[in-house]
Structure 1
Amino acid sequence: MVRHIRSLFKKNNPTKENTNARQQASDAQVSLSIQLDQNIEYFRSLYLNSFDVMFRSFLIGEKFQGYLIYIDGLTDVQKMDEQVLTPLMKNKIETASELTNFLVNKTPVSSVQKMTSFSECVDSISNGNPILLCHGINLGFSFGLAKWEKRSIEEPAAESGIRGPREGFTETIGVNTSLIRRIIKSPALKMKTLHVGEYTKTKIFLSYIEGIADQTLIEEVENRIKRIKIDGILESNYIEEFIEDNTYSPFPQILSTERPDVVSANLLEGRVAILIDGTPFVLIAPTSLFSLFQSQEDYYGRYLISSVIRMLRFLFLTISLLLPSLYVAILTYHQEMVPTALLLSIASARESVPFPALVEAIMMELTFEALREAGVRLPKQIGSAVSIVGALVIGQAAVQAGLVSAPMVIVVAVTGIASFMIPRYAIGIGIRMLRFPIILLAGSLGLIGVMMGIIAIIIHLATLRSFGVPYLSPIAPLKIKELKDSFIRAPLWKMNTRPHFTGNFNQYRQSPDLKPGPEKGGE
């Protein structure tokens, strides 16, 4: 069997058929051989022209020939020398059974695993864990000595807050799971492991709380991830696009966040979190439109203030979506709706403008969006300066040159400020994108076109689902109890039940008699 595999790896024949055979052989569950030379020849063929893969030959107890295979930069070489190489070379080992017993029970490494196939060894080496192969033993031994450079824990720049934890996820999935475990200490918190990607073999953890998350939801998320067949996963959006219900919608059906407290709060509500190795963004499913307008600070401040701020978000959502189109529609078709003094002021400001209101609005909106994207893509030191100074200079110069009117500059500026009130970037950019077709409808049909656009958006939202959960829940279908955490945020002591997602679930999350005040029976 091993000779047959070696024949697939001809060093000087890089044809397509040979490449496909190599991939198939590397993925096959072929058992390791007792002959050390055959195993090493296979691995050398597999890692041909991979100069960062090290093969360390040494004698075990002056009798057994051994090979350590590891990737330079992914393995802690110092610990490998101290905890693996030194004990094996100094201890007297006579038989293969003694060697196996020593490796499993006496090696001073926290994790030692037996590998029986080539594919298991390849996975271990790729993850930074060195593999030991010995002559006369058809097993490989994997040592948990992975080590690589990683970013320190910092506050997420896109989800910063005034009050609350300052920790954010990193690109290392082990660090991310530990941050969640520090918050939710119950053994009911589960982490299922999946691997996606033909070449990247990206590790994915499916996290949920047993007894709170519905089992049907867990199985559905797991099945959708298992169906993904792709070369590699480089970021969480790869997973998001493959598992969401409607990929053509501008509205995200899965929540993404960099904050462990946000993930923990959603897990406690019965949702499922998807952690992907290599990215700090964690996916949360299912979600709704109202969940995307909730911020972590809504629950860290007083409920009256949080409710007012949340209502302001929905008000500025309306302004961000409709203000330019309303301005174009009224100025083009419905001048009678504007007070005479204001109409004369706008007319005098537009006297030298050569473009109709529709062209003026689209031109200014495109310019504003270009400045905003330029500010995001440029280095931080100059990005904010370019976006702010560019808007001021271009706006003032355009007004003075007579290309646009001052009222239009005001409308676009207010619209841009309103869009910054939306707490989630994914939903914010969707609203910004929908602004343009509504402006075109307003310029073509007036307020009737604006209403047609609003109706089309509402119909689309009503048809959306996130893992079977209606996107407009709890408004459509109406759930009175869950309105406590939608447009407003009720006091925490009144939110006794969890949101209802799918099937049976653990309904109550706190005692019903937590209203603050004097203790019952007290004076």
Structure 2
Amino acid sequence: MYTQNESDSLSHNLDENLQKLGSIYDNCFDVVFRSFFMGGHTNAVLVYIEGLSDVKQIENNLLATLMSATKEPLPPKEAIKKNIQLADIKVITTFTDCINNISTGNPVLLVQNEQEGFALGLAKFEKRSIEEPSAESVLRGPRDGFVEDIGVNTSLIRRRITSPKLKMLSMNIGRYTKTKVVIGYIDGIADHTLIEEIKNRLDRIDIDGVLETGYLEELIEDYPASPFPQLMSTERPDVVAANLLEGRFFILVDGTPFVLIAPVSFFSFLQSADDFYNRYINGTAIRLLRFIFIVISIFLPSFYVAVLTYHQEMVPTALLISIASSRENVPFPTLVEALMMEVTFEALREAGLRLPKQVGAAVSIVGALVIGQAAVQAGIVSAPMVIVVALTGIASFMVPRYPLGIALRLLRFPVILLAGTMGLLGIVLSVIMITVHLCKLRSFGVPYLSPIAPMKAKELKDVLIRAPWWMLSKRPHLTGEYNKYRQHLGQKPNSHEGNEK
């Protein structure tokens, strides 16, 4: 068997090269060795993996051209360049380059008495067509999304940012997968110290394989024990382009449509593409509604448990009597009742996600209705608790980003436990603990609660509200410090201009 201790350079002897390649690809039925005579007198072998290379072009163009090549006494390198009409032909000298090209779909041509091989750019494999991401659909905006091919993904980004300032750095991560990873940023906007930091973090990774961006996310984030995501994932090229223009970088991984963006803040996960494509008044109203319902999704069940367990005097008498009568036959305390319903609702939601799309939504909705009604009639839970849990579930769907949504859903359970054991004091304590934790978090050095902590009053125009574009003249301070202005001042339309004309 060929080992790393042996010489890595290709040999003049074609048989010796083939013997080493044969030992490397032992029992690999899809690795093809095509022997032929190039130009009628030179022995040559083409090595490729069936399914990764364009076999039709190899058969009809490449082999036919090489076998019928001129018999003029030209060196193989000159003969190949003269007869093969390909834009991508690389000269390789080592077995490592040979194996890497074969594994990525580029056929390698080895010629007798030549210590160099030729990697031919004929990689081709099946890929999904470009379509709108189902998890990030918008009412107004582009309908294209990333796919599993990294070449297509980079082209989707370059279609939106055509400047040569858009830089992309490529590397391979994974001992066995050799997964291609691309770091992208805009030179002149992004901080070069930040780019060096992400390159160093990726260079430190030593793992068998990388199959998705989630592998890298857990290996490069600042606080891996935190439930809150510190890198944002998206399938939308327009979202990546918008974040690049604010001084952030992205990470593409071959084989997945999800792209990582950093550095981000807590409020980055609460922004939707629709906020910026629709009128700013509509975007502001939806964003404020989103913040209100996010608070409801975390604290409504715990507030209900705390009030009914320890602070009944806060409830109006008529409402208290109605709730008490509905709980008359319930054998469980409010805390246990809330936990049972929350766990059941989360199980139904997860089951709906795992079932086929045609039946998943119907099963989750019908299951929630049937189980809720049956549980109330059986006296296991009360009707007000079903209403609270249903309202909480609806509120949790207001979070635009799934990673933040599941983090908030997980936080709901310890908050309920604190409320059930300490009342409103437990809720206040949970708010303090969550706030302190969020203040400690960093995403590649950027405070997680920026621009609120630390406070940057001028940047609040794109946090709780969505200011009109003519007011968003500056980039975020912590990511766009080296190129502050994204547009000229004075872009506000003149309301009297039309009347004057």
Same-fold call, TM cutoff 0.5: yes
Give the partner amino acid of 1:82. N
Say whether the 8 Å CA contact 2:66–2:83 is kept in structure 1.
Answer: no
In 2, distance between residues paired with 1:310 and 1:257? 19
- Shift, 1:83, TM fit: 3.2
The answer to whether 1:436 aligns with 2:390 is no
In 2, distance between residues paired with 1:335 and 1:100? 88
Q: Secondary structure at the match of 1:158?
A: helix
Partner of 1:172: 149
Q: Secondary structure at the match of 1:275?
A: strand
In 2, distance between residues paired with 1:199 and 1:69? 20
Partner of 1:44: 22
Greater CA deviation, 28-37 or 455-464? Answer: 28-37
Partner of 1:70: 48
Say whether the 8 Å CA contact 1:29–1:119 is kept in structure 2.
Answer: no
Q: How does 1:74-113 map to 2 (within 5 A)?
A: 74-95=52-73, 98-113=75-90
In 2, distance between residues paired with 1:92 and 1:104? 12
Q: Deviations over 1:337-376 (max 9, x none)?
A: 0000000000000000000000000000000000000000
Q: Cα RMSD (Å) of the superposition?
A: 1.4
Partner of 2:218: 241
The answer to whether 1:360 aligns with 2:299 is no
Q: How does 1:52-451 map to 2 (within 5 A)?
A: 52-95=30-73, 98-451=75-428
Say whether the 8 Å CA contact 1:60–1:93 is kept in structure 2.
Answer: no
Change (3 A) 1:229 1:29: farther
In 2, distance between residues paired with 1:78 and 1:110? 17
In 2, distance between residues paired with 1:275 and 1:481? 32
Say whether the 8 Å CA contact 2:335–2:420 is kept in structure 1.
Answer: yes
- Shift, 1:455, TM fit: 0.4
Partner of 2:460: 483
- Shift, 1:29, TM fit: 7.4
- Shift, 1:30, TM fit: 1.1
Say whether the 8 Å CA contact 2:69–2:83 is kept in structure 1.
Answer: no
Q: Secondary structure at the match of 1:290?
A: helix
In 1, distance between residues paired with 2:83 and 2:70? 13
Q: Deviations over 1:404-438 (max 9, x none)?
A: 00000000000000000000000000000000000
In 1, distance between residues paired with 2:276 and 2:9? 54
Change (3 A) 1:410 1:521: closer
The answer to whether 1:35 aligns with 2:13 is yes
In 1, distance between residues paired with 2:171 and 2:201? 12
- Shift, 1:98, TM fit: 2.6
Change (3 A) 1:29 1:462: farther
Q: Secondary structure at the match of 2:109?
A: strand
- Shift, 1:502, TM fit: 5.2
In 1, distance between residues paired with 2:458 and 2:16? 67
In 2, distance between residues paired with 1:417 and 1:60? 68
Change (3 A) 1:475 1:54: same
Q: Deviations over 1:46-70 (max 9, x none)?
A: 0000010000000011111000000
- Shift, 1:161, TM fit: 0.9
Give the partner amino acid of 1:30. D
Say whether the 8 Å CA contact 1:63–1:94 is kept in structure 2.
Answer: no
Q: Secondary structure at the match of 2:75?
A: helix
In 2, distance between residues paired with 1:407 and 1:329? 14
Partner of 1:473: 450
In 2, distance between residues paired with 1:152 and 1:194? 25
Say whether the 8 Å CA contact 1:74–1:128 is kept in structure 2.
Answer: yes
In 1, distance between residues paired with 2:415 and 2:499? 60
In 2, distance between residues paired with 1:450 and 1:115? 65
In 1, distance between residues paired with 2:451 and 2:226? 20
Q: Deviations over 1:287-319 (max 9, x none)?
A: 000011000010000101100100111100100
Greater CA deviation, 83-92 or 184-193? Answer: 83-92
Q: How many residues align?
A: 500
Give the partner amino acid of 1:330. V
Give the partner amino acid of 1:370. A
- Shift, 1:92, TM fit: 2.2
Q: Which runs of 4+ in 1 moved over 3 A?
A: 518-523
Unaligned runs of 5+ in 1: 1-7, 10-21
Unaligned runs of 5+ in 2: none
Percent identical residues: 61
In 2, distance between residues paired with 1:62 and 1:388? 71
Greater CA deviation, 336-345 or 104-113? Answer: 104-113
In 1, distance between residues paired with 2:479 and 2:246? 12
In 1, distance between residues paired with 2:26 and 2:330? 68
In 2, distance between residues paired with 1:154 and 1:269? 26
In 2, distance between residues paired with 1:477 and 1:103? 62
Query: TM-score, normalised to structure 2's length?
Result: 0.98
Query: TM-score, normalised to structure 1's length?
Result: 0.94
In 2, distance between residues paired with 1:360 and 1:442? 13
Give the partner amino acid of 1:91. A
In 2, distance between residues paired with 1:123 and 1:418? 49
- Shift, 1:37, TM fit: 0.6
Say whether the 8 Å CA contact 2:475–2:486 is kept in structure 1.
Answer: yes
Say whether the 8 Å CA contact 2:451–2:460 is kept in structure 1.
Answer: yes
Partner of 1:511: 488
The answer to whether 1:464 aligns with 2:441 is yes
In 2, distance between residues paired with 1:417 and 1:504? 39
- Shift, 1:187, TM fit: 1.0
Q: Deviations over 1:107-143 (max 9, x none)?
A: 1112000011000010000010000000111011011
- Shift, 1:82, TM fit: 3.1
In 1, distance between residues paired with 2:86 and 2:47? 16
- Shift, 1:88, TM fit: 1.2
Q: Deviations over 1:164-192 (max 9, x none)?
A: 00101001101111111111111111110
In 1, distance between residues paired with 2:93 and 2:208? 25
Partner of 1:15: none
In 1, distance between residues paired with 2:31 and 2:65? 23
